[in-house]
Every structure is written in C-alpha cells, then in structure tokens.
Structure 1
Amino acid sequence: MQSALFNRQPDDKPFLISGPCSAETEEQVLETCQRLAATGKVQALRAGIWKPRTKPGGFEGIGTKGLPWLKKAGELTGLPIAVEVATAKHVEDCLAFGVDILWVGARTTGNPFSVQEIANVLRGVQVPVLVKNPIHPELELWVGAVERLKKAGLEKVGLIHRGFSSYGNTDFRNAPMWHLPIEMKRRHPDMPLLCDPSHICGRRDTLFAVAQQALNLGFDGNMIESHIDPDNAWSDAKQQITPEVLRDLIQDLVWRHETTDQREFLTALSSLREQINQLDAEIIQLLGRRMAVAEKIGVYKKENDITILQTGRWNEVLERAQRQGSSVGLTPEFIEQYFAAVHLESINHQNKVMEG
C-alpha cells in the first residue's frame, strides 16, 4: 500500500500516516494501531522508536525492542509501517524487522554526515524514504538530503513538511513557512509531499486548520500523531489525538483536486490567469523603472559622499507602504518581506554605481 504514495493518480484520496509519537508499550502500540485501522482513514502506521531529544534526561524512545510491536501491528491490520531513522544502525534494525517506510527526521536532515550515513547503508535497497525538512529554514539542506538519497540509487524518495524553528514565533510550535515546501514541490514535482500538522502545531486545537491548508495547497496527504491516551503520552502529549478524534478530523477535511476537465472552470481560470500574467508584467516594468531611479539617487550620493543606507528614509518608505497595503487587504508581514527584497535590490543597484 505504501506504493500508492509514490504512484499517485488524480482521483487518489490524500495519504494519511498515523500512530503514536512514541512506542511506549506493546499494548499501547497494538491498541492504537488497531483503532486507527478501524477508522478506515489511515494508509500507513507510524510510531517513534528512537526519539532525539534536545536535552538528556527525557524519554528517548523505547529502542529496537519496539520494532516487533509495530511489525505485529502491521500484520494485524494489514497496513504498512513507518519509522524514523537517524543512524545506519537504525536503518539496519528497521530492515531486519521489515519496516515498509523510513523517514529522516528534521534534526538528521540538517546534518549531511548523518544523511550520507543513511544513504550509504540503503545503497541497493529499494525501500521508500521520506525526508522531513530541516529544523531551520535552509532549503538547500533539504535539497541536499534528497540528492544524497537519490545518488545512493533510491527511487522512492518523498518529502514531509513539519515546519521550521522561528525566533519569536508563538502561533505554532514550528512555523509553517509554506513558501519553502511549495518551492521544494516546484523543484521536485514528481515527489510526494506530506504535511506533519502535529509538529507544526504542537497542540490539538489547530491540527485541522493546518491539515486543511496542506490539502488546499495540493499536498499528497498528512502525517498526524495519534495515541489512545494522549494526555498521558510519554512524549508530545499536547499534540496527539485519539484515533476516533482523528477519524472525525479526517472526515471533515475538504479534499481538493489539482485540476478538472470542466470546460467552464478551465475557461474562467484561463481568463483570470491571463489577468495575473498582465499584472505581473506591469509590476516587473514598474520595478525596473524604480531601480533606474534608485541608480540616479546613487549617482547623487556618490558625488556628495553620502552613504547608501539611509535608515530614516527606509523606515518612512516601509511605514507608508504598510498603510497603503492595509487599505487594499495586504498584510503587514507581506509588505515588510516584499519591500525588504525591493530595498535590498535598490541597495545593490546603488552599490554598483558607487563602485563604478
């Protein structure tokens, strides 16, 4: 069944991987997985066997002895099983117990040596491997991890978006930064992309919204943690839900298709996209004219020995843009990011004038 994730058809339903954050006891794993299977909504089972913790002293997973529990759960339910790996030994143990899907965790993705170690031991083994984004928003680390696995000969490599660490972020445990997984999907359009709302949210009450947004963006499915007794889970208790709550959550999600063959829709969409193309062309022309003016300003600054950066002027531009943006429905965050990029390009143009 795991092959369904790598051979997606237009009408395939979203792929769901679920199970406890950590395997704690055999009874807990078996009951959770059987109740998940009973929902009819889950395509693969998961459980954390080894748990990387930020500080020593916390629960770091039950270890290899938990693999037979998960294997038994797979046999009882007929569902494939998925496990996170971080070392060559983890991979070897998983292969020995017939784990169907492996995934590389965020901490491991950020360490090229660790990823290469995993790639080396998987050389010649055709097991599906999913790669979570690194903790920090460094797209090239994510790309590099995928490339290392691909170069080892692995044919079934997919992606998991679990959010990124962000200073000052309060809404999410890990900020979604949706533009980064979207860029990964652009670079790897044939690679399945799942969302991990559990680690993005860090709490139960926002799981649905993030899972729905992932489907709205064309993700292939979700990985959501489930536990028979979430409040007493040995790790990440706040973000886990019971199998029955998961069933209801999945039932309420709206499943959207990437396209349709309905002529009326396609005609309307084509017309609107052409309007977007025209507006984008106008914006680019205006930006070109803006940079030409910035270069003229650079000439005057050079002739009068004035520094390029004028913080007072920059604050004035940004504040005015945010007021104007707010009046047409643009968020302050977007305006700040957009004008920061414009400002940097203006500085680069003026710097070329200074150096010329």
Structure 2
Amino acid sequence: MKNLKFVTAKKQNGIYRKTEFRIGDITVGKDFLVIAGPCSVESEEQIMTAAKAVKAAGANMLRGGAYKPRTSPYSFQGLGRVGLQYLSKAGKETGLPIITEVIDPRDVYLISEYADVLQIGARNMQNFSLLIEVGKVGKPVLLKRGMNATIEEWLNSAEYIMNAGNPNVILCERGIRTFETYTRNTLDLSAVAAAKGLTHLPVIVDPSHATGRVDLIRPMTLSAIMAGCDGLMIEVHPSPSHALSDKEQQLTPDQFKNLMEEVRETLTFRDKLYVKKD
C-alpha cells in the first residue's frame, strides 16, 4: 500500500505491534469489544431498557444514533442533542462507554461532550473534512468501511484521522455493495484478515448492517470471530418490530443474550486454536 505512514508505523521486523488503548474499563485491541444497542435513540425509556439488557448479556459498550443519515429525507433522522443526553444517561447508569455517529464537522465538539467514541459511518468514510476534524479531538474514532470502498481507500481514510493527530482508531467492516440483493450488503470477511495483516489497528465487524437480516446475524457473527476480528457491533432493540429505523436487522434482548453465549464459546475455541497453532 502506497502513502500510508501512520497505519503501518508500528511494524517491526515484519510484524505489527497491535494498537491498544483504554476506553473506560476496556482495553481496545486486547479485550474483545462488543458494542450493542439500538440503531437509533428513540426515547429515554427505549435506550435505558436496551442499555440494561445488553449490559446484562455481556456487552461492554453501548451504541445508539442521535443523528441519523438516512437514504430518504422523510425517514426518522434521530433526536439530535436530546438523543445524546438520553444515550449519555443510559451509559452512566449502566457503566457502559457510549459510541454514536458524527455526520457533520460542525457537530464534532458537541458530540464529544457526550460520547466516549465517535463513529464515522459508511457514507462519510471519505468525508475528509470530517475525518480531519475528528482527528483533532481526543476521542477514539470508529471508522466504518464505505459501501463501495476498497481496503486501500478504507485505510487511507484512517490515515487522515491519524495524520490529524488521533492515533486511537478502530476499523469496522460493515459489508460492501455487490450485485447481491438478498442481503443488505455483502460481508467481506476477507477484508478483516487483510486489514489485520496490513495494519496494527483493531478491526471489528458489524454483522447487522452487513446482512440487514436477523437470521444471518448469528452465523456471520461467529464467522467474523473465526476470521480474527477484535470485536463486534450488533444492533439490539427492546421491540424491533416498533423500531423507527432498521427494524429488520435488530435483535431482541433475548436473541442477543443467546448470541452472546455462543460468542463466548467461539472466542474460547478460537483462543485455544491460536495457542495450539503457536
């Protein structure tokens, strides 16, 4: 890969030293990261219920959209600052760090007052003014791969953030657009292994957006773990059928609880497999 300075800066003797950094009680890059919560913050009761459910099931970070970039201008766009306040309150009451999406450079410092991690969504992966702005603040950044982006373009976007002064970047594979229409996107698990071989940054997977189908979240989650990911981002809603956005891809709390049991089992198997290989 050409013109990459920071995402490849930790390579020594042909081996990358993994990036690790703290978010609350979590060491990203060392601890397995499980980010869970609803697509959108819809009400204080909804996000509080979701937060308590995902915490009980084993998630260690809470997600929720306060500002929602939607394909249609008539779809639910989020609650804005009120949503941030609800999300922050839920995070404090459960002890979970919170992550939410930033879609406008003008909102970076406002959202940084509430969020522990700033998310750059797929649509904004190459919004370079936004990447530079989040690179200037001291909050970790989760960078989703664009739906039409190559791996090299994805890593160059991370380079923009790091070049602006922020070394704490998490890469997130969330599926790419292909000819397939059965799923929302096509989850590219080869990109997970590739990114981990090309950079020192932690790489997580979002099977919710990658598939857009509840029935496919479980197999893709377990496959992502075996592909070597450092964490997951999974959408969970107290009542998905009543969700104001992406109801087809959000798990119920019970479904998430069952999935987390299998996540732990798969991680144990993966760890034993890697130890055996070494």
TM-score normalized with structure 1 length: 0.67
Match of 1:108 in 2: 124
Q: Deviating runs (4+, > 6 A) in structure 1? A: none
Task: Kindly indicate whether residue 85 of structure 2 is the aligned counterpart of residue 68 of structure 1.
Answer: yes
Match of 1:144 in 2: 156
User: Could you tell me the percent identity over the aligned residues?
Assistant: 35
**1:260–1:249 Cα change, 3 Å:** closer
Task: Kindly indicate whether residue 56 of structure 2 is the aligned counterpart of residue 15 of structure 1.
Answer: no
Out of 169, 174, 188, which is 1:157 matched to? 169
* Cα deviation, residue 31, structure 1: 1.2
Give the aligned length.
Answer: 252
* Cα deviation, residue 91, structure 1: 1.5
Match of 1:221 in 2: 231
Match of 1:182 in 2: 193
In 2, are the aligned partners of 1:110 and 1:135 still within 8 Å (CA)? no
Match of 2:53 in 1: 35
**1:61–1:179 Cα change, 3 Å:** same
**1:165–1:258 Cα change, 3 Å:** farther
Paired residue secondary structure (1:222): strand
In 2, are the aligned partners of 1:6 and 1:156 still within 8 Å (CA)? no
* Cα deviation, residue 209, structure 1: 0.6
Task: Kindly indicate whether residue 20 of structure 2 is the aligned counterpart of residue 6 of structure 1.
Answer: no
The structure with the largest helix share of the pair is: 1
Match of 1:297 in 2: none
Q: Matches of residues 1-356 of structure 1 in structure 2 within 5 Å?
A: 2=23, 4-8=26-30, 12=31, 14-39=32-57, 41-97=58-114, 99-119=115-135, 123=136, 125-166=137-178, 168-188=179-199, 190-253=200-263, 254-255=266-267, 256-257=270-271, 260-262=274-276, 266=278
Structure 1 unaligned segments of length 5 or more: list them.
267-356
| Alignment RMSD | 1.8
* Cα deviation, residue 182, structure 1: 2.6
Identify which of structures 1 and 2 has the higher relative contact order when contacts are C-alpha pairs closer than 8 Å and 6+ apart.
2
The structure with the largest strand share of the pair is: 2
Structure 2 unaligned segments of length 5 or more: list them.
1-21
**1:45–1:226 Cα change, 3 Å:** same
Deviations 1:161-203 (A, max 9, x none): 100011x203421111222333222211x21111000001101
TM-score normalized with structure 2 length: 0.85
In 2, are the aligned partners of 1:218 and 1:258 still within 8 Å (CA)? no
* Cα deviation, residue 5, structure 1: 4.3
In 2, are the aligned partners of 1:15 and 1:220 still within 8 Å (CA)? yes
